[in-house]
Amino acid sequence: MKRVLTYGTFDLLHYGHIRLLQRAKALGDYLIVALSTDRFNEAEKNKKSYFSYEHRKMMLEAIRYVDEVIPETHWGQKAKDVEKYEIDVFVMGDDWAGKFDGLKTEVNRPLEIVYLSRTPEISTTKIKTELKL
């Protein structure tokens, strides 16, 4: 079984998120989403989510492309997650292009790293700006 891992906040879930998850799932058989916790978002990313971690997790778990949701609690957990969950493909949006290439040398397993293009006309930031949130 080919296992895929991606990370994100997935706040104000929209069709761009769904497309990303659909394309990530197409790269393997089992998709794990590491979801940023509220504490991690506030303390490390300097952002506040509209929906709580539990609500964002519930929504992700309802999406047919997502097989498992795990918490992302700090920046440095990615190599450990790749090892622990026996990940074959690490996926991020193309706004992170090149930033995780070094992960291949941090893990003791073959790892493919894929940066998927975003849906340009939609983003959580755009939604928040337009709604004045």
Catalytic residues: 45, 47
In angstroms, the CA 102 to CA 94 distance is: 16
Burial class (CB in 10 A: 0-12, 13-18, 19+), 66: buried
Q: Which helix (H) or strand (E) holds 16?
A: helix 15-25
Radius of gyration over alpha carbons of the chain, in Å?
Answer: 14
Phi-psi label, residue 46: left if phi above 0, alpha if psi -120 to 50, beta otherwise? left
